[in-house]
């Protein structure tokens, strides 16, 4: 049975997109967007030489940022394998790197105490038996050279299943396997998904699987239905979007989910993409996910030498500074049963602990709609322990006696700067949730 509890407690992970696409430095979809012929793309094998690759340093960055798990692209759509597969020569051991980069990642992240996940693309633009001519994404789509191709897709599926078996057999315990992705004509049993899931769960008892054996970043699959398929996965994976509300089945049962997000606008290393989010934005995205019962998988795209870009390192460092003071409002938390909505606020909860994430300077006291003053046992600023006043008198209390009002100011009607303008977290212990 899948071990989902650690995942729901962790809430924050690192996504790592790395492959041959780091050499041209134009993103992981470069081959498709640029319609790069395979023989030209293969030239990157000769120059992929990550001399600075230090997975232990990557793992320390993740841990210090407050991340609890990581997912590395063992193989992306380009078909290149970071691991030493027995079924292809298109792999890291046949580049100047000359070694199994997945092995080093797994060992390093385990050593830093992080849970280990691997990403594996169901799509493969390099394999000769993966259909190209009529495929909407293949670099050689619609080309004359592929018009008369005779692909044996079942042979590709044998290859794909064999590689997944390698990943599940050769790297010890894996906590998570992240498939990507399904689309029209390539979905569910088109991948022999039932057979694949049975194999993975037999080889890796307790492993978590995402939803993309039948879904994509914009389609969440049957996991949200009343009758999920056997390959629906354990969690949904919205991509580059945050759901407007918690994800649930029709009967209201919550569904585990994880939003994967980039730091700039690219997953794979893209030298020209300098549109990096601020750490403040990333922290708020993390809080937004947790407040709706979801996880936040924040991506880094190392360059061809194996360096995580300096902008990404700075963002991780700043997130880590906030997490060191406020992690209790993230780990093991989820959506609050108490609305407790206030202007510029989000709420996360764990048992009788309610955390108000105040992100906008309040005008006067904070109104916690749906929470009565009698339900609050204590209220403090999480980062400092400073007490927050639960108002017992004044205009607001007199006119709205069933609503709790909090103030950080000496005078309830004063408007003061927030102690932390990114997100000031108020920790309330309450008598009901």
Looking at 281, 304, 334, which one is the last position of a domain? Answer: 334
Tell me the Ramachandran region of residue 283: left when phi exceeds 0, alpha when psi lies from -120 to 50, beta otherwise: alpha
End-to-end CA distance of the chain: 29
C-alpha–C-alpha distance, residues 181 and 267, integer Å: 15
Residues 225 and 370 in one domain: no
Sheet with 69-75, side-by-side order of all strands:
208-209, 176-180, 115-121, 69-75, 12-16, 294-300, 257-261
Residues 310 and 346 in one domain: no
3-class SS at 341?
strand
Sheet with 404-407, side-by-side order of all strands:
366-368, 404-407, 389-390
Q: What is the pLDDT of residues 269-286, one digit of tens each?
A: 999 999 999 999 999 999
Residues 235 and 116 in one domain: yes
The parent domain of residue 398 ranges over 336-430
| Residue 178 token pair | 């992240």
Residues 307 and 356 in one domain: no
Q: What is the pLDDT of residues 158-182, one digit of tens each?
A: 999 999 999 999 999 999 999 999 9
Q: Are the beta carbons of 248 and 295 closer than 8 angstroms?
A: no
Q: Are the beta carbons of 397 and 368 closer than 8 angstroms?
A: no
Residues 107 and 84 in one domain: yes
C-alpha–C-alpha distance, residues 4 and 8, integer Å: 6
Tell me the Ramachandran region of residue 364: left when phi exceeds 0, alpha when psi lies from -120 to 50, beta otherwise: left
Global pTM value: 0.97
Residues 293 and 367 in one domain: no
Long-range contacts, 337-341 (Cβ 8 Å, 24+): 337/433, 338/368, 338/370, 338/371, 338/375, 338/430, 338/432, 338/433, 339/369, 339/370, 339/371, 340/368, 340/369, 340/370, 340/371, 341/368, 341/369, 341/370
Residues 390 and 411 in one domain: yes
- The upper half-sphere exposure of residue 240, i.e. CA atoms within 13 Å in the direction of its Cβ, equals 10
> Cβ neighbours of residue 427 under 8 Å, at least 6 residues apart?
328, 329, 353, 354, 355, 378, 379, 380, 381, 382
Residues 32 and 177 in one domain: yes
- Each residue's pLDDT expressed in tens, for the chain with a length of 433 residues: 788 999 999 999 999 999 999 999 999 999 999 999 999 999 999 999 999 999 999 999 999 999 999 999 999 999 999 999 999 999 999 999 999 999 999 999 999 999 999 999 999 999 999 999 999 999 999 998 888 788 999 999 999 999 999 999 999 999 999 999 999 999 999 999 999 999 999 999 999 999 999 999 888 999 999 999 999 999 999 999 999 999 999 999 999 999 999 999 999 999 999 999 999 999 999 999 999 999 999 999 999 999 999 999 999 999 999 999 999 999 999 999 876 567 789 999 999 999 999 999 888 889 998 899 999 999 999 999 999 999 999 888 999 999 999 988 777 677 778 999 999 999 999 986 4
Q: Give the chain's domain count.
A: 2
Q: Where are the alpha helices (DSSP H) in 55-213?
A: 55-64, 101-111, 153-170, 193-203
Residues 291 and 355 in one domain: no
Residues 382 and 316 in one domain: no
Looking at 283, 301, 334, which one is the last position of a domain? Answer: 334
Q: Is the dihedral of CA 71, 77, 83, 87 positive or negative?
A: positive
Which CATH number does the domain housing residue 89 bear?
3.20.20.80
C-alpha–C-alpha distance, residues 428 and 349, integer Å: 9
Report the alpha-carbon angle 67-8-286, nearest 5: 50
Residues 257 and 224 in one domain: yes
Q: Where are the alpha helices (DSSP H) in 208-365?
A: 279-291, 310-326
Looking at 305, 334, 363, which one is the last position of a domain? Answer: 334
Q: Are the beta carbons of 84 and 172 closer than 8 angstroms?
A: no
Residues 96 and 193 in one domain: yes
Nearest residue to 42 via CA among 16, 20, 74: 20
Q: Where are the alpha helices (DSSP H) in 65-210?
A: 101-111, 153-170, 193-203
> Cβ neighbours of residue 218 under 8 Å, at least 6 residues apart?
238, 239, 241
Which CATH number does the domain housing residue 421 bear?
2.60.40.1180
Peptide bond into 171 cis (omega under 30): no
C-alpha–C-alpha distance, residues 179 and 130, integer Å: 17
């Amino acid at each position: 049975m899948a071990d989902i509890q650690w995942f729901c407690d962790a809430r924050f992970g690192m996504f790592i997109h790395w492959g041959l696409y780091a050499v041209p430095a134009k993103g992981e979809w470069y081959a498709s967007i640029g319609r790069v012929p395979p023989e030209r793309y293969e030239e990157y094998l000769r120059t992929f030489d990550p001399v600075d690759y230090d997975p232990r340093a990557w793992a320390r960055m993740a841990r210090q940022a407050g991340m609890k798990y990581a997912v590395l692209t063992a193989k992306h759509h380009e078909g290149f394998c970071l691991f030493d597969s027995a079924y292809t020569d298109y792999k890291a051991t046949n580049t100047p790197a000359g070694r199994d980069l997945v092995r080093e990642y797994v060992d390093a992240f385990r050593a830093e105490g992080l849970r280990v996940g691997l990403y594996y693309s169901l799509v493969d633009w390099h394999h000769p038996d993966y259909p190209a001519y009529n495929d909407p994404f293949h670099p050689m789509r619609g080309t004359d050279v592929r018009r008369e191709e005779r692909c044996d897709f079942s042979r590709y599926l044998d290859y794909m299943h064999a590689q997944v078996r390698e990943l599940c057999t050769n790297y010890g315990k894996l906590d998570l396997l992240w498939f990507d992705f399904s689309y029209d004509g390539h979905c569910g049993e088109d991948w022999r998904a039932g057979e694949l899931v049975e194999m993975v769960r037999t080889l890796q008892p307790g492993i978590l699987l995402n939803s993309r054996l039948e879904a994509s970043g914009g389609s969440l699959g049957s996991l949200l239905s009343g009758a999920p398929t056997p390959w629906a996965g354990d969690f949904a994976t919205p991509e580059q979007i945050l759901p407007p509300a918690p994800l649930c089945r029709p009967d209201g049962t919550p569904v585990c989910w994880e939003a994967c997000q980039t730091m700039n606008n690219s997953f794979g290393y893209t030298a020209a993409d300098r549109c990096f989010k601020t750490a403040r934005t990333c922290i708020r995205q993390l809080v937004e996910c947790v407040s709706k019962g979801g996880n936040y998988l924040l991506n880094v795209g190392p360059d061809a030498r194996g360096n995580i870009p300096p902008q990404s390192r700075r963002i991780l460092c700043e997130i880590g500074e906030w997490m060191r003071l406020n992690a209790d409002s993230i780990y093991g938390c989820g959506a609050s049963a108490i609305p407790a909505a206030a202007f510029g606020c989000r709420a996360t909860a764990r048992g009788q602990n309610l955390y108000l994430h105040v992100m906008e300077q309040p005008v006067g006291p904070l109104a916690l709609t749906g929470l009565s003053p009698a339900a609050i046992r204590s209220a403090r600023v999480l980062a400092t322990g400073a007490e927050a006043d639960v108002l017992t008198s004044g205009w607001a209390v007199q006119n709205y006696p069933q609503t709790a009002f909090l103030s950080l100011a000496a005078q309830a009607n004063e408007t003061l700067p927030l102690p932390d303008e990114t997100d000031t977290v108020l920790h309330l212990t309450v008598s009901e949730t």
